[in-house]
Every structure is written in structure tokens, then in C-alpha cells.
A and B are shown apart, each in its own frame.
Chain A
Amino acid sequence: MIIQLLNGLVYGGLLVILSSGLVLIFGLRQVVNFAHGAFYTLGAYVALSVSAFVGFWGALAAAFVALSVVGIALDRFCFRPLQNRPHAVVLIITFGLFLIVTDLVQLVWGRESYSLLPPPDFTGPVDVFGTPYPVYRLVVLALAVVAAVALQAWLRLTRIGLHARAAATDIVATGIQGVNTDRVGALVVGVGCGLAGLAGAAAAPLLALTPSMGDAIIIDSFVVMVIGGLGSFGGSIVAAALLGQIQAFGAVYMPSLTTLLPFVLMAAVLVIRPTGLAGARIS
């Protein structure tokens, strides 16, 4: 039971990292970024390519930095010029970007499957309440906790975080107060996409690296975002943990319904509380 609970927390942790980026971007730009799944994939492949030179931990950092740069470019050349256009237009463009980035990954790395091995000190199991449990899964869990705490600290304790929260509430009023909202936007989207890269790199030792690896997990992330409440970090963390547990326990107790359960939960939340568990703003 405890091990299944841990399994749920680990998958939930991955979803926390990935969906935090989605929530950040939605909170500020009001865009559901379909390209996020492709950025997750790209992060995994970047980590694969650089790990031979900078080691696993360096690869994690490189994936975050590389995708942050991609995010800043995305904001500068896509979200900012299109900020006055209907949301559907931007949404369709991000979907196009998803296809383009996926094809680029395929072009550069091919369609073969790869794996990124975890660092040698974190390969085997450790004893958890008398049961062997993969130490790397605990690393993923720790990484998710660190990412969530660091993100909250960044938003709560720094000036730029304050500006980001203000811009998420009212970007025009924030601009009138002298805040450079373009810079804030670039930073927020950069960090959001960087988190997608980090999630991809963290998942790489667990999952086969293929150009389509982001397709399924991004759907779970959207489910997390909807259940948690669009734009709410606290809600997305609770929703990710919940979804992880549903997947882990569903696999054991309701195997034939595992793939359906997240959507059942989402439908239930939408019916009972249409704004999600926690509402709709960066807080």
C-alpha cells in the first residue's frame, strides 16, 4: 500500500513539474500552450545529448536552460505579438508549434527509441519499509518538491514574482505602474517552458525517449490544470498528487478503467466545481 502510494506520488511529482509550467504560462498569457508536450520531449532529448559531456545533473540543468531560451523566444515572437488576438488563434498556433517541434525532434534524433540512464549512484533500489524501491523514483519526487517550493518562493519572495502575480491579475494596470510587462512575460514563459524541459529530462531514465513521448503525458497535464483550476499552483499540485494516486491505485484495483479514471475525475470536478479545485489565478 505504501509503495503504491509512493508510485502515485512519483508520477504526480512529474505532473507537478510539467503542469506548473502550463499554469505559469496560462496565468500570465491566458494561453493553453499545446506545444508544452513537445517541449517536454525536447527537454528529454537535450538531456540525452548533453549527458555524455556534463553528466546527468548537468543534463537536467541544460534541459531547463535550453527550454527556457525556447520559451523566451516563444513569448517574444508568438505570445507578445498575438496578445490582442482571440485565444483560439494562439491556441491553434501552439498546436502547430507542437507538430513542428515534434517533427524537428524526429528529424534530428530519428524515430528510434532511446533511454537516458540515471546517475550511477541512483540506479538500484533502497529499502522502504522492508520493500525494495527504486532510488531514482525518490529523486524524481524530491525534484518535484524542490521545483514546487522554488517556484512558490520565486513568486512570493522576489520582486519579479510580485510583478508576475500582478501581471496575471491585470497586465495593463501593472504596466501603468511602471512594470516592464514584456520582460515579466518573457521570464514567466521562459521559466514555464524550462519546467517542461526539466520534466522531460527527469522522466528520461524512466520512460523510452521517442518523438511522441510528450503526447500522452501532456493530456494528463491538461487534466491536472483543469482539475486544479486554470492558473492555480496550489490547485495543480493537489490535482497532480490526486491524479498520480488514481493512476497507481487504479492500475491495481481497476486495471480495465485506468485510462478512463483521470477523465472521470475531471468530468466530476467540472460538474461539481467548474472553476476547478482552487480557482483561476497565480497564487
Chain B
Amino acid sequence: MTISRQLAFGLAAGLAAACALLASASFADEVKIGLVSTQTGTFAANGAEMLRGTQFAVDEANAAGGIAGFTVSLATADDEGTPEGARRVAERLTLDGYRILTGPVFSSVVLALANQLSRWDAILFSGLAKSDRITGEACSPRLFHLLPSDSMDMAAFRPWLKTRPEKKIAIIAADFAWGQDSSAALKTIAAEEGRNVVATILTPLGNKDFGPYIQQLSASGAQIVVTILGGQDAINFVNQAAGYAFSTGRVVAGIALLTQPTIDATGSNMRGYQGEFDYAPTIETPENVAFTQSWMQKFGKLPSRNEAEAYLAVKIILHGVRLSGSNDPKAIAKALSGADVPTLLGTLKLRKADNQLLRPEWFGEVQSVGGALRPVPQAEYAPEVIERPVSPACKMRSL
């Protein structure tokens, strides 16, 4: 009896050791990417785009035989658009070994995850959020901000505003961190450029009826109306504004409004809308042309900005794997900080001081291209025009 019990213990211990060895062998051969994104609620469509772009990049890497000897695996989780939800699902992902995180839609989610990265021994690539706080008080060697920040968007807005003769501006913005920060920054720029902000309207997130707000904007006498709305809110605004012929006789310009899904979802209602954008499938770099072609082959339509940004995040992660020759999050972060990285917009720099990707932006208009409405670039602003100084609030600690 004693012998058989000892034998059983021995077998169990051997089995456990073998499992651990197998698990560590498979961990060692994989780059494990965790996508924390919003799959339900007002911004679910954005989360779906993030998933498509990320999956496309992962599949592409694996089809090419992997990266530096590693295969790439992807696990996804729905953060329900809330910081609490994101913390919960990211905890699970990191416990499962997915310590290279990407995909959050909201700045609040990025900021919530940033606090936990050291505890999880994880790194995070923020490819859709825009708050300046990401590279400000939240900056960390484990956190990479790949999209232009709010203040970088505003830096692209200012030169456009200089070209406009109109004096009266109104702002309609979603009432959360992005909308509040951007509208405050826009008011400052407008004042500095000698314009009069005649109305600032903050609308609840997920607002259904924009009629009362459109009426207020019309009554304000604004000659330029700037929208800082995303997701369903942007679509609802555009469609309802069309009923009022709102864009007749005034300029409607958007921050992050000129995205292909919004244009597609609003019929011809966005024709003539203007705005800044950080990506469009019409940008003619060799990398972007190749990407849009392979995307078209797979999906039969052009990639959206969010899909491209999700793709870009994975490409940068994998560049870090290539540079470091490792799948360890810390090694990847160390290799990428301050590096020149290949992107869809050409080779760009990840600024060492705060891990902000320095990239160009465009200002353009929604026009018909080959029978379909597209955001067409009219002015390009180079990274050095868009670049903002490193925030004094950013105190980078060691990894």
C-alpha cells in the first residue's frame, strides 16, 4: 500500500513536471499578445475593428513563418468599455501569460491599465486612445502611445484654422475625457488665433437625439462647427444634421471624425465634411499601399483607420520582438524605446522620453474617389510640426 502510494505520488509529480516543461516550452516559442478591447456597447464597432486589424497582423506574421523563431498567439477579452472591466480581463490575460497588451478604445481604460503594468510584468501598446495623460502623468517605460495625442491633433488643427476666414466657432463634444480635453484645447487655440467660440456643447456619451443640440448650434451663428464625437454618436450627429441641411452655409470639421466606417455608415451625408486624420487608406506610402491591397484581397473593402491602427500596433510589437530576439515583454519594451520603427506611414520614431510615436497628420475633406466617399488629404503636417514637448508630468522610471 505504502509503495503504491509512493508510486502514485511519484507519477503525479512526474506528470506535473512534464506538464510544466511542456507549458514552458510552448510559452518559450510564442509571442503572446492580449487584446483588451470594447466588444459591447456604444463603441463595440471600434472594438470589432481593433480585433480585425490585430487578427490580420497576427495571421500575416504566422503565415510568414513567425517572427524571430516565435509564433504569435492572440487572446482577446471584452473590457465592456470600462476601466473596471478592463482591469478584470487584463488580470486574467496576464495570468494566462498574455503580458503584451494592446487594443483599448478609451483613454480611461489605458490609464487604468497603466497603473497595473508593473504588477503584471506586462507592457501596453495604446493604439486608439488619445489623452495627453497617457504620455503625461501615466507615462511609463511599459506603456507605448502609438496614436497622436489630443494636443498633437490640435497642432494639426491650428494650421488649418489659420487658412480659414471664419471668425465664429462652435464646438460639440462627447462628455468624457477625450471630448472634454479636446474641446478645452480647441478653445485655447481658437482664442490664440483670434476666433470667437460662440458655443461649446458637451453631449452625453451614447446620445440618441442630437436635434436639440443641432438647433442650439444653428442658433449660435457659428460659421465653423467642430465635432469631437466618436462611434455611434458621430453617426447619429451626421445623419441628424443632414436632415437640417446643417452643413449648408457653414463649415463642419471634425476631430477624428473622418474615418471610413463613419463615412460608410452615413451614406452621402458626410460629403464636404472636413477634419484632421491620422490615417486614411488613400495615403500613398509603399507600406500603406501594400497593406491596403492585401486587406482588400481578404475583406473586399478598404481598411478603416482603427483596423490600420490595430495592425500597426502588432507590427510594432513584432518589430520589438525582432530587435530584442525575445518574447519577454521587458526586453521588447527596452528594444523599442527610442527606436525607429517601420509603420504604414514610413519609418517613424518612438520617442525615448515618453514612448510617444512621432507621426504625421493630415487635414482633408470627404470627397468622392472612384464613386465612393473617402477622406482625401489636402494638407500634410510632418511629425516635427505635430510633435509636442514631453510633458513635465512624465517621470519615466526604470523597467
Q: A residues touching B (Cβ–Cβ < 8 Å)?
A: 3-4, 7, 10-11, 110-115, 117-118, 123-125, 131-137, 205-208, 210-213, 215-217, 247-249, 251-252, 255-256, 258-259
Contact = CB atoms under 8 A, between A and B. Distances in A.
30 contacts: A4-B212, A7-B209, A10-B211, A110-B48, A111-B47, A113-B262, A117-B267, A123-B242, A124-B245, A125-B244, A125-B245, A132-B244, A133-B244, A134-B211, A137-B243, A206-B236, A207-B239, A208-B232, A208-B235, A208-B236, A208-B239, A210-B42, A210-B45, A212-B41, A212-B42, A213-B232, A215-B41, A251-B203, A252-B216, A259-B204
B231 to A, nearest CB: 8
A264 to B, nearest CB: 15
A256 B204 CA distance: 8
B204 A258 contact: yes
B213 A212 contact: no
B48 A135 contact: no
B232 A113 contact: yes
B285 interface: no
| Secondary structure call for the B interface | helix
Nearest to A10: B211
Contacts of B243: 118, 123-125, 134-137, 206
A3 B215 contact: yes
Contacts of B239: 115, 205-208
B48 A112 contact: yes
B215 A4 contact: yes
B267 A216 contact: no
A206 B238 CA distance: 9
Given A111-B48, A210-B232, A212-B41, A217 B211 contact: no
A124 B247 CA distance: 12
Contacts of B240: 134, 206
Given A113-B261, A248-B211, 18 more contacts: A7-B209, A7-B211, A112-B265, A113-B235, A113-B262, A115-B235, A124-B243, A124-B245, A132-B244, A205-B239, A206-B236, A206-B239, A207-B239, A216-B206, A217-B208, A251-B213, A252-B215, A255-B201
Contact of A132 (B212, B216, B245, B266): B245
B209 A113 contact: no
Contacts of A10: 209, 211
A249 B232 CA distance: 22
A211 B39 CA distance: 11
Contact of A216 (B44, B208, B212, B215): B208
Contacts of B47: 111
A213 B245 CA distance: 25
A111 B244 contact: no
Contacts of B283: none
B62 interface: no
B26 interface: no
Nearest to B243: A134
Interface string B6-31: 00000000000000000000000000
A111 B37 CA distance: 13
Given A124-B245, A125-B243, A258-B204, A210 B215 contact: no
A13 to B, nearest CB: 11
B40 interface: yes
Nearest to A216: B206
A186 B129 CA distance: 49
A259 B203 CA distance: 10
Interface string B203-244: 110101101110110100000000000011001100110111
